[in-house]
Structures are given as structure tokens and as C-alpha cells.
């Protein structure tokens, strides 16, 4: 027999379990609370008072209701995940026999293509003056983002020892703590050389970090984002440029020039090639123009 505690009390116990046994962050607990409140509201609307009375049909109906209210596919997936976790907890704590959210899938959101800079916009953005050491550092960071397709966390995590100036490469620690070797282009190498000379001017607290702040500590991700946004204004860009936009631009431009999807996957550190394939959609119009111009069966017949 399932414990007869009210739903709100069961949620309180689940929250305590997340905090004490799962060591979940306050942000994660807030998300669980928000998601399960939606389930609680649905049950109240339907007059469902006991956990064992919630069926897979109820989960699908609630999912459909949330979808009509405008929740995205990722939000619906998170709601389902929260519900599954709660029912798994309830099976152990209260003896619930069935997890009604098991096996149910959320509708997918339409895939959003990443925003990129074209070649001219990239050139405009990279023309950074190097009047002082901060500008010199910022230029080196921006050039490295675009040259090597780094993630924000990968760039701020770089140490001096990770850079091989002679070989023109960087050892990067990516997602899942997987290490990969990426090439550094000549413009980025020159920007790094200039930065390393100016770096000596700063009283350092962190002697290992490649990029440091005014205080001499390893630069923070938030500071990098703020500096790139400031550069967006100074360089007269149409919108804000962020680190991932430079990574996307690197991937798109490289794929457009080479057509080698596997090489781009390797350079980006993607575990699955399906993640890299999003960039093929970005270049479709360009490829279509090339096809129309080059393929003998695609060329328009000249009128006499």
C-alpha cells in the first residue's frame, strides 16, 4: 500500500532526498520543484489524490497540455525526467508499483541552427588594436577561439604548458575530461606571441594560466564573455559576439572549405558526428550555388 501522505508532503520528502542523498544543487532542486508543481497542478485539476492513481495516460495528457502551453521540447524532456526521478523515489520510499512516466518521450523541438559570422564579419571582428596588454590579451583569446574552435571552458582552462608554439598546437581538455590536440593558425600564433611578451608586465598570482585577469588570476569565463561583448560594440558588429559564435564560425568556415565532416568532428571534440552535422545545414545555400554552377545536369540551358 502506497504511503497516504499528501502530494505536497511527498514532494517535500523528495526535495530532502535530493539535497541530502543526491547532493543536488539549489538550482537543480528548484528545477525539480517547478517541474513537479506542474504535475501536482494537473492532478488537482483531474481530482487525482493518490500516486498509484496516476497512469501513463495521465502523463501523456499532462505532457500534451504543457506542450499546448508553449513549453519547448527540451523543457518537456526535463519535465519527464523530473517526473521519472520522482516516481522512482516513490517506488523505493512508498512502495509505488508502477512508474507511469517510464518509456514516454517528449516531442522534439525544431533544431535551431547556431549563429555564425561570415568571413567578412570575422575579419572585421578580429581587427583589434593592441594598444595595451588587455587589448593584446583579448586579441589572442579571440584569435584562438576562431583559429582552433575552442569552447569557453577549454580556453580559460589552458595553461602555458598546453601551448606548443614551435609545433603550432594546443592540448585541450574537453568535455568528459577528454584531451585532444588542436592546431593553432599563424595569425593566432602571432597574437599569442605578442600576448606572452605583454603578460610579463602583470604581477601574477597564477603563473600557470595562459590568460589572466587584471589581478593576475586565471581569467574567468564571465570576464571572457564580457570582453567579447565589449569588443562587439567597439568593432561595430551588428549584434553581440560570444565565444560559441566564434566556435560555430570556425566549424562552418572549415567545413565549407574542406567538406571533411570527420575532420571537423575531431577538431571540435564532438563525441558523435551527428552533433557536427548541424553545420552541414549552415552551408546548404552555398553548396546549392556551387551545385547549380558546376553540375552538368543542374546548369540552366542557355536560351537561343
In this predicted model, what pLDDT tens digit does every residue of 211-260 receive, in sequence order?
Answer: 999 999 999 999 999 999 999 999 999 889 999 999 989 888 887 777 77
- For residue 77, what is the domain's CATH number? 1.10.150
Q: Are residues 197 and 147 in the same domain?
A: yes
- Statement: residue 286 has pLDDT above 60: no
Does the residue 102 lie in any domain?
no
Q: Are residues 123 and 272 in the same domain?
A: yes
Q: Are residues 16 and 76 in the same domain?
A: yes
Does the residue 72 lie in any domain?
yes
Per-residue pLDDT, averaged over 160-166, amounts to 95
pLDDT value of position 116: 85
Q: Are residues 179 and 226 in the same domain?
A: yes
What is the Cα–Cα distance from 151 to 244, expressed in whole angstroms? 7
Domain that holds residue 126: 119-290
Q: Are residues 138 and 205 in the same domain?
A: yes
Residues 6 or more apart in contact with residue 211 via CB below 8 angstroms: 137, 140, 141, 155, 156, 158, 195, 218, 219, 224
Q: Are residues 237 and 274 in the same domain?
A: yes
Mean pLDDT of the chain: 85
- Statement: residue 283 has pLDDT above 60: no
Residue that finishes a domain, picked among 59, 94, 129: 94
Does the residue 298 lie in any domain?
no
Does the residue 264 lie in any domain?
yes
- Statement: residue 304 has pLDDT above 50: no
Q: Are residues 133 and 281 in the same domain?
A: yes
Q: Are residues 51 and 153 in the same domain?
A: no
Does the residue 104 lie in any domain?
no
pLDDT value of position 94: 82
Does the residue 302 lie in any domain?
no
DSSP-assigned beta bridge partners for residue 169:
164, 183
Does the residue 139 lie in any domain?
yes
Residues 6 or more apart in contact with residue 304 via CB below 8 angstroms: none
Residue that finishes a domain, picked among 78, 94, 110: 94
- 91 grid coordinates: 517506488
pLDDT value of position 153: 93
pLDDT digits (tens, 9 = 90+) for 34-82: 999 999 999 999 998 888 889 999 999 999 889 888 888 888 999 999 9
pLDDT grade for 3, boundaries at 50, 70 and 90:
low
pLDDT digits (tens, 9 = 90+) for 108-154: 766 666 688 888 999 999 998 888 999 999 999 999 999 999 999 99
What are the angstrom distances between the C-alpha of 195 and each of 77, 80, 86, 137, 256?
44, 48, 51, 5, 30
What's the predicted TM-score (pTM) here? Answer: 0.58
- For residue 255, what is the domain's CATH number? 1.10.443.10
What is the Cα–Cα distance from 5 to 149, expressed in whole angstroms? 53
Q: Are residues 127 and 236 in the same domain?
A: yes
**Domain count across the chain:** 2
Does the residue 157 lie in any domain?
yes
pLDDT grade for 303, boundaries at 50, 70 and 90:
very low
Q: Are residues 52 and 129 in the same domain?
A: no
Q: Are residues 189 and 139 in the same domain?
A: yes
Per-residue pLDDT, averaged over 159-165, amounts to 96
Q: Are residues 169 and 277 in the same domain?
A: yes
pLDDT value of position 129: 86
Residues annotated as catalytic (active site), given as ranges? 151, 175, 244, 247, 270, 279
pLDDT value of position 290: 53
Amino acid at each position: 500500500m502506497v504511503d497516504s501522505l499528501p502530494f505536497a508532503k511527498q514532494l517535500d520528502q523528495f526535495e530532502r532526498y535530493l539535497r541530502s542523498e543526491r547532493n543536488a544543487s539549489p538550482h537543480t532542486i528548484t528545477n525539480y520543484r517547478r517541474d513537479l508543481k506542474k504535475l501536482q497542478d494537473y492532478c488537482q485539476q483531474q481530482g487525482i489524490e493518490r500516486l498509484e492513481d496516476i497512469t501513463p495516460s495521465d502523463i501523456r495528457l499532462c505532457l500534451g497540455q504543457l506542450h499546448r502551453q508553449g513549453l519547448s521540447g527540451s523543457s518537456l524532456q526535463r519535465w519527464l525526467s523530473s517526473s521519472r526521478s520522482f516516481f522512482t523515489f516513490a517506488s523505493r520510499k512508498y512502495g509505488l508499483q508502477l512508474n507511469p512516466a517510464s518509456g514516454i518521450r517528449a516531442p522534439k523541438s525544431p533544431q535551431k541552427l547556431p549563429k555564425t559570422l561570415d568571413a567578412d564579419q570575422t575579419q572585421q571582428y578580429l581587427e583589434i588594436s593592441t594598444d595595451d596588454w588587455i587589448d593584446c590579451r583579448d586579441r589572442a583569446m579571440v584569435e584562438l577561439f576562431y583559429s582552433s574552435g575552442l569552447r569557453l571552458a577549454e580556453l580559460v582552462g589552458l595553461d602555458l604548458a598546453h601551448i606548443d608554439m614551435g609545433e603550432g598546437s594546443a592540448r585541450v581538455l574537453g568535455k568528459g575530461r577528454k584531451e585532444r590536440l588542436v592546431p593553432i593558425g599563424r595569425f593566432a600564433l602571432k597574437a599569442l606571441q605578442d600576448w606572452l611578451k605583454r603578460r610579463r608586465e602583470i604581477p601574477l598570482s597564477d603563473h600557470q594560466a595562459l590568460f589572466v585577469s587584471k589581478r593576475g588570476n586565471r581569467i574567468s569565463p564571465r570576464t571572457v564573455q564580457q570582453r567579447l561583448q565589449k569588443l562587439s560594440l567597439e568593432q561595430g558588429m551588428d549584434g553581440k559576439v560570444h565565444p560559441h559564435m566564434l566556435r560555430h564560425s570556425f566549424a562552418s568556415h572549415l567545413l565549407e572549405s574542406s567538406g571533411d565532416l570527420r575532420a571537423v568532428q575531431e577538431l571540435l571534440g564532438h563525441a558523435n558526428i551527428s552533433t557536427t552535422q548541424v553545420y552541414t545545414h549552415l552551408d546548404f545555400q552555398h553548396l546549392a550555388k556551387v551545385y547549380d554552377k558546376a553540375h552538368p545536369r543542374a546548369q540552366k540551358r542557355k536560351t537561343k
